[in-house]
């Protein structure tokens, strides 16, 4: 099906929904005070449905919903726990039946919610809520959730900074100085070069140690455009209206060069050293992932690695003396270095809700709001059930606060990231500095959750047709030769999705 035909179908669907969609957001404000935020309805009995995912089977969400009802006794919350694997299809099915939850999360990409008009406009609530003047920098400044319009459709509900995880033990074992915690890209590059060693220099007398490994979305091709250009506020050099892909090309070419020098251990199976156990058995005499056994200085990845892997006793990193500490992403010394890339999970209010103001408040309380976060802190320290023991809640359920509320951050910092007294590995100073920088920096999301058309462009043109990165990394290609065509096609996909939104806005009189 062509994009043009899809657009016509979409607009037909939108026309059929016009009577219902957005009507709830046209209520006259009932006197929300000087802020202009409409007051909550605290008298009408209502039930709000809320769909979310969590690794604990929904236990934490249920407890938060109870506390929301304690705050607003007229509101009953129907929680609908789900998983990241199932949520998008469930939302699609419920939307088709005109029964989408009043507030819900959506995973990975925004093209489908845009195309099908899942979300309603929350602008008047978000922009008039003074609490949103005190949230992670970048969300408001980069208009995240506006999708190139003047209207707020969705908002980050979970925040996972991307992190340069530095293996502190690697540096000690190899008599290397720990890097500067506010390093430049030039310093970062020097570190990974010096950390790549052959022979018997490293721990266990290994034949090879590596400066860097990375997860998808955290390779130089993603990080470098932010590192090289202060105007970059989105993946692949996105500046808010177009892709400037020269820095993308530099980043991909750097990634190719790092692989060729063995500074970066590959995840694909296409290089001599590959971070897969069967491959590394020939190198180390055992089947291991390189970073798991301490053979890598830095792992570029997401914040959730701390809870899921590095500090999870079941994974064995601490027992194996692989001691990761968080570092901020590096930037070129010639830049201000203010913007970093993160993972934002997105959520919004259903176009079918009869209570958009109250659904907004529920979404905020359950995700980014200070009151909800304070309740979470209480639950992390006291709540235990047979379904989800307290320790596991702390390990798996902690994303980084979106609110910058000082009380929330004080309690968040006090969680047991490491032994509060007598940490033999000396991690406190690194966590303290990292949290300071998280609050100071601006944060942009990956393209699929921020830029209309991005995920479709990646699936069809970037990965689907010609395997751009494979050509450069493994077949000797030069990324700069691809810049013009990619900038052109990327903007075409953006404009196609953006035009759908603008046509929709005209239909409803926006």
For 261-321, where are the alpha helices, taking DSSP H only?
277-284, 305
Among residues 226, 214, 220, the alpha carbon closest in space to that of 442 is found at: 226
Segment 156-184 shows an average pLDDT of 96
Give the least confident one: 102-106, 245-249, 292-296, 427-431: 292-296
> Each residue of 215-224: pLDDT tens digit?
999 999 999 9
| Integer Cα distance of 367 and 390 in angstroms | 20
Q: Is the pLDDT of residue 102 over 60?
A: yes
Q: Identify the pLDDT of residue 7.
A: 36
SS3 366: helix
Give the least confident one: 47-56, 165-174, 415-424: 415-424
Segment 468-477 shows an average pLDDT of 92
Identify the band that residue 387 occupies on the pLDDT scale cut at 50, 70 and 90.
low
Could you count the other beta carbons within 10 Å of the beta carbon of residue 297?
Answer: 29
| Integer Cα distance of 103 and 324 in angstroms | 36
Segment 306-314 shows an average pLDDT of 86
From residue 496, alpha-carbon distances to 236, 446, 460 in Å are 18, 19, 14
Q: Which two tokens stand for residue 166?
A: 């530095």
Q: Is the pLDDT of residue 10 over 50?
A: no
Segment 70-89 shows an average pLDDT of 96
Segment 75-93 shows an average pLDDT of 95
User: Of 119 and 379, which is predicted with more confidence?
Assistant: 119
Q: Identify the pLDDT of residue 104.
A: 97
Q: Is the pLDDT of residue 376 over 50?
A: yes
Give the least confident one: 123-132, 191-200, 273-282, 372-381: 273-282
Q: Is the pLDDT of residue 329 over 50?
A: yes
Q: Identify the pLDDT of residue 269.
A: 66
414 within 8 A of 406, measured Cβ to Cβ: no
Q: Give the fold, CATH level 3, of 3-159+343-390.
A: D-Maltodextrin-Binding Protein; domain 2 (3.40.190)
From residue 365, alpha-carbon distances to 81, 220, 347, 368, 446 in Å are 16, 36, 12, 7, 24
Segment 476-501 shows an average pLDDT of 95
Q: Is the pLDDT of residue 362 over 70?
A: yes
Q: Identify the pLDDT of residue 391.
A: 59
Q: Is the pLDDT of residue 18 over 80?
A: no
SS3 62: helix
Q: What average pLDDT does the structure give for the chain? A: 87
Segment 60-83 shows an average pLDDT of 96
| Integer Cα distance of 196 and 170 in angstroms | 11
For 36-105, where are the alpha helices, taking DSSP H only?
59-71, 87-96
Could you count the other beta carbons within 10 Å of the beta carbon of residue 91?
Answer: 23
Superfamily of 161-342+421-495 according to CATH: Periplasmic binding protein-like II (3.40.190.10)
Record the pTM. Answer: 0.90
Segment 198-211 shows an average pLDDT of 64
> Each residue of 41-62: pLDDT tens digit?
999 999 999 999 986 678 889 9
Identify the band that residue 303 occupies on the pLDDT scale cut at 50, 70 and 90.
very high
Identify the band that residue 11 occupies on the pLDDT scale cut at 50, 70 and 90.
very low
Segment 358-368 shows an average pLDDT of 99
Could you count the other beta carbons within 10 Å of the beta carbon of residue 436?
Answer: 15
Identify the band that residue 311 occupies on the pLDDT scale cut at 50, 70 and 90.
confident
Could you tell me which residues come within 8 angstroms of residue 207 by beta carbon, excluding any fewer than 6 positions away? 198, 199, 200, 283, 284
| Integer Cα distance of 191 and 183 in angstroms | 10
Identify the band that residue 382 occupies on the pLDDT scale cut at 50, 70 and 90.
confident
175 within 8 A of 262, measured Cβ to Cβ: no
Q: Identify the pLDDT of residue 110.
A: 87
295 within 8 A of 198, measured Cβ to Cβ: no
| Integer Cα distance of 475 and 452 in angstroms | 30
Identify the band that residue 31 occupies on the pLDDT scale cut at 50, 70 and 90.
very low
| Integer Cα distance of 488 and 494 in angstroms | 10
Phi, psi of 407 (to 5 degrees): -65, -40
Q: Identify the pLDDT of residue 395.
A: 59
Q: Which two tokens stand for residue 440?
A: 């100071």
Segment 437-443 shows an average pLDDT of 98
Rounded to the nearest 10 degrees, the angle between the axes of helix 468-475 and helix 246-260 is: 40
Q: Identify the pLDDT of residue 438.
A: 98
Segment 429-447 shows an average pLDDT of 97
User: Of 193 and 110, which is predicted with more confidence?
Assistant: 193
51 within 8 A of 80, measured Cβ to Cβ: yes
Q: Is the pLDDT of residue 484 over 50?
A: yes
* CB-side neighbour CA atoms (13 Å) of 335: 21
Same fold, 3-159+343-390 and 161-342+421-495: yes
Domain ranges, ordered by start, for the chain: 3-159+343-390, 161-342+421-495
| Integer Cα distance of 209 and 203 in angstroms | 9
Q: Identify the pLDDT of residue 268.
A: 67
Among residues 357, 198, 206, 228, the alpha carbon closest in space to that of 288 is found at: 206
179 within 8 A of 433, measured Cβ to Cβ: no
Torsion from C-alpha of 39, 43, 47, 51, nearest 10 degrees: 30
| Integer Cα distance of 387 and 378 in angstroms | 18
Q: Identify the pLDDT of residue 132.
A: 98
Could you tell me which residues come within 8 angstroms of residue 281 by beta carbon, excluding any fewer than 6 positions away? 287
Q: Identify the pLDDT of residue 313.
A: 81
Q: Identify the pLDDT of residue 135.
A: 99
| Integer Cα distance of 201 and 322 in angstroms | 17
276, burial (CB in 10 Å: exposed 0-12, middle 13-18, buried 19+): middle
From residue 100, alpha-carbon distances to 10, 49, 106, 432 in Å are 18, 9, 12, 41
């Amino acid at each position: 099906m062509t994009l043009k035909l899809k657009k016509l179908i979409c607009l037909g669907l939108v026309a059929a929904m016009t009577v219902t969609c957005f009507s709830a957001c046209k209520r006259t404000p009932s006197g929300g005070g000087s802020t202009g935020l409409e007051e909550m309805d605290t008298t009408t009995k209502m039930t709000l449905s809320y769909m979310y995912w969590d690794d604990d089977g929904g236990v934490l969400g249920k407890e938060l919903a109870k506390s929301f009802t304690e705050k607003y006794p007229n509101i009953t919350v129907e929680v609908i726990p789900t998983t990241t694997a199932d949520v998008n299809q469930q939302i699609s099915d419920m939307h088709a039946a005109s029964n989408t939850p009043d507030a819900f999360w959506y995973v990975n990409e925004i093209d489908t919610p845009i195309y099908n008009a899942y979300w309603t406009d929350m602008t008047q609530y978000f922009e008039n809520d003074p609490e949103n003047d005190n949230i992670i920098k970048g969300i408001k400044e980069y208009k995240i959730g506006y999708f190139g319009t003047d209207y707020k459709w969705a908002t980050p509900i979970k925040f996972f900074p991307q992190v340069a995880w530095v293996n502190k033990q690697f540096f000690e074992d190899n008599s290397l100085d720990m890097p500067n915690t506010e390093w430049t890209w030039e310093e970062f590059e020097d570190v990974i070069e010096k950390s790549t060693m052959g022979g018997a220099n490293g721990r266990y007398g290994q034949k090879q140690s590596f400066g860097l490994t990375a997860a998808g979305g955290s390779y130089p091709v993603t990080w470098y455009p932010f590192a090289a250009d202060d105007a970059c506020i989105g993946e692949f050099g996105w500046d808010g209206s177009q892709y400037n892909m020269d820095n993308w090309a530099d980043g991909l070419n750097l990634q190719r060069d790092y692989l060729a020098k063995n500074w970066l251990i590959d995840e694909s199976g296409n290089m001599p050293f590959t971070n897969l156990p069967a491959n590394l058995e020939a190198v180390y005499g055992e089947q291991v992932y390189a970073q798991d056994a301490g053979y890598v200085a830095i792992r570029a990845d997401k914040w959730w690695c701390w809870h899921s892997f590095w500090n999870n006793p079941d994974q064995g990193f601490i027992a194996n003396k692989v001691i990761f500490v968080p570092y901020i992403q590096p930037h070129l010394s010639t830049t201000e270095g203010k913007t970093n890339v993160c993972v934002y999970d997105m959520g919004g209010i259903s176009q079918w809700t009869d209570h958009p103001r109250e659904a907004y408040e529920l979404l905020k309380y359950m995700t980014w709001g200070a009151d909800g976060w304070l309740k979470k802190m209480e639950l992390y320290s006291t709540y235990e059930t047979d379904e989800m023991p307290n320790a596991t809640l702390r390990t798996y359920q902690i994303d980084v606060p979106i609110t910058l509320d000082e009380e929330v951050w004080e309690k968040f910092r006090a969680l047991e990231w490491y032994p509060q007294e007598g940490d033999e590995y000396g991690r406190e100073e690194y966590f303290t500095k990292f949290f300071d920088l998280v609050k100071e920096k601006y944060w942009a999301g990956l393209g699929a959750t921020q830029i209309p058309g991005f995920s479709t462009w990646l699936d069809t043109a970037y990965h689907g047709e010609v395997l751009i990165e494979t050509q450069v990394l493994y077949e000797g290609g030069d990324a700069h030769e691809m810049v013009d065509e990619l900038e052109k096609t990327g903007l075409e996909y953006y404009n196609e999705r953006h035009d759908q939104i603008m046509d929709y806005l005209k239909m409803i009189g926006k």
